[in-house]
Amino acid sequence: KLIAPLPLELSPSEEHCVLEHMDIFERNGFRFTYDPEKDQRHRLSVTALPHSGSGGDGRKAVQFGKEDVGALCAMLGADGTSSAEGYIAGFGSGADGSGMVGNNAVRRFAGLAGSHNGSSVMRLPKAIAMFASRACRGSIMIGTALSDKDQKKILNKLDGTDDPWTCAHGRPTMCHVSCLSKQLKDDDDELTLHDTAGGSSEDC
């Protein structure tokens, strides 16, 4: 929550968009006050902004600003030029909203048509990228030893996801392995041959 309301200067379409979709903005962490006595475009002020701290574990803190109001308005189909610069600034796939919208998670989940009509919430690409980045930081890495119980737990969780084959960034979560019987037999034969050759050398 902000110490003092932050006045906004929105286009008429953006202002209408915020009022029309107030529930979406609130579920994204925004709070507003509305003063009908003020001139159009200046009736809304931000009283709270979404914020995600670093958590003290090396993660980068992500701060959202009033430009993200314009970004979310644009995703909801509002027309307006007053927030165009902020829209570009807050629409990147980086965890801080910078960069291009190239992140797989951003392309899949941010601004999906109708996503706000169901159980999911329309999210800013900056937020989706932040969630994806933090999910990967706490993920199981290659080489991590897992017990049978842990392996089954992971498989059961993957089975309940829409796309179990890749992580949020599009990297594969598993690889398909063909039958290893022949490869293992070849390895055993090669090892046996090597041991036999070594033994003959010692006898000489």
Instruction: Say what the pTM is.
Output: 0.56
Give residue-wise pLDDT tens across range 3-42.
999 999 999 999 999 999 999 999 999 999 999 999 999 9
Let me know: does 48 contact 34? Beta carbons within 8 Å. no
Q: Which two tokens stand for residue 95?
A: 């965890």
pLDDT at 148: 93
pLDDT of residue 114: 44
Instruction: Give every CB contact of residue 146 below 8 A, 6+ residues apart in sequence.
Output: 140, 154
pLDDT digits (tens, 9 = 90+) for 75-129: 888 775 444 344 444 444 454 445 444 455 555 555 554 444 445 678 888 888 8
